[in-house]
Amino acid sequence: MAIALRKPAEIDKLRKAGQVVGQTLRYLQENIRPGMTLKEIDAMGEAYLRDLGAEPSFKGLYGFPAAVCTSLNEVIIHGVPTDTVVQEGDILGIDIGSKLDGYYGDAAITMPIGTISEEDAALIQCSKDALFMAIEAIKPGMRFKELTKRLEDFITERGYVPLRDFAGHGIGTLPHDEPSIPNYLEGTPKQGPKIKNGMVFCLEPMICQQESDPVVREEDGWSVESADGLRTAHYEHQVAVVDGRAVILTEP
């Protein structure tokens, strides 16, 4: 399937959908406190997103039961909100999708709950730094697999491993579209599609500490945990390639 090249008017709509996500993430980051439940955090995020005029695109997507993925500690992605209470020293991944005027936004952060350990801070920083490194590296003519290799090299040089079987993705009038952009390389970086002006996609470094295989919780069928049981981190931005560089669409 061909990767869509978006016109400026479409990118503007994707930016509006993305900004709603960025604003909601910022709101949650500023207001989440120890003692809240994951369900309360989900409800806060959904209400704020709707107040901004958007629909929560994750709710019901492929059967997902909530508006916000709340991934706590060893859960790296797709965490289902429960009555679990977040506590001082936890780290929480928040992943949010929006739909606005037929176009989608998608971004994620991992945030500290109160004061966290230096080890957890370094883990979160790796995911964030990997994301912004990759965004800065993007240019037309680069292959997506070259970008993947840069992400993998960055993560492993920091002493971590990228989660397997999950990837960044294209986005537009569908929440997930071509291309698939994993954080680990299969094959050679000198093959596959090239990045072009007008492409819009999400990059999302998903960082594990020792083992890269995912484990899906049987009790909910969604929450993806690290196989080593150690804490994880996840950051995501949606970008458009405009005039030879990547522009972030999911900033507040």
Measured in whole angstroms, the distance separating CA 95 from the mean position of its chain's CA atoms is 6
Phi-psi map region of 153: left, alpha, beta (phi>0 left; psi -120 to 50 alpha): alpha
Domain range holding 18? 8-248
- CA 115 – CA 222 distance, rounded (Å): 28
Q: What is the pLDDT of residue 72?
A: 98
Q: What is the pLDDT of residue 1?
A: 64
How many other CB atoms sit within 10 Å of the CB of residue 188? 11
Would you state the structure tokens that stand for residue 223, as one six-digit string?
Answer: 């929450």
Residues 127/207, Cβ–Cβ less than 8 Å: yes
Would you state the structure tokens that stand for residue 14, as one six-digit string?
Answer: 């994707």
Measured in whole angstroms, the distance separating CA 58 from the mean position of its chain's CA atoms is 12
**Helices 8-31 & 38-51, crossing angle to 10 degrees?**
140
- CA 115 – CA 8 distance, rounded (Å): 42
Q: Is the dihedral of CA 50, 41, 126, 208 positive or negative?
A: negative
How many other CB atoms sit within 10 Å of the CB of residue 233? 28
Q: Is residue 3 a part of any domain in this protein?
A: no
Q: Assign residue 233 the CATH number of its domain.
A: 3.90.230.10
Secondary structure, 3-state, 109-176: EEEECCCCCHHHHHHHHHHHHHHHHHHHHCCCCCEHHHHHHHHHHHHHHCCCEECCCCEEEECCCCCC
Would you state the structure tokens that stand for residue 115, as one six-digit string?
Answer: 């004061």
Q: Is residue 214 a part of any domain in this protein?
A: yes
Q: Is residue 2 a part of any domain in this protein?
A: no
Residues 15/249, Cβ–Cβ less than 8 Å: yes
Residues 49/120, Cβ–Cβ less than 8 Å: no
Residues of the chain falling short of pLDDT 50: none
Q: Is 182 helix (H, G, I), strand (E, B) or coil?
A: strand
Q: Is residue 227 a part of any domain in this protein?
A: yes
Q: What is the pLDDT of residue 19?
A: 98
Q: Is residue 146 a part of any domain in this protein?
A: yes
Rounded to 5 degrees, φ, ψ at 205 are -60, 120
Listed in sequence order, the DSSP H helices in 32-117 are: 38-51
Residues 134/174, Cβ–Cβ less than 8 Å: no
- CA 146 – CA 150 distance, rounded (Å): 6
What is the reported pTM?
Answer: 0.97
Q: Is residue 172 a part of any domain in this protein?
A: yes
Number of domains the chain is built from: 1
Q: Is 247 helix (H, G, I), strand (E, B) or coil?
A: strand
Q: Is residue 28 a part of any domain in this protein?
A: yes
Q: What is the pLDDT of residue 12?
A: 98
Q: Is residue 232 a part of any domain in this protein?
A: yes
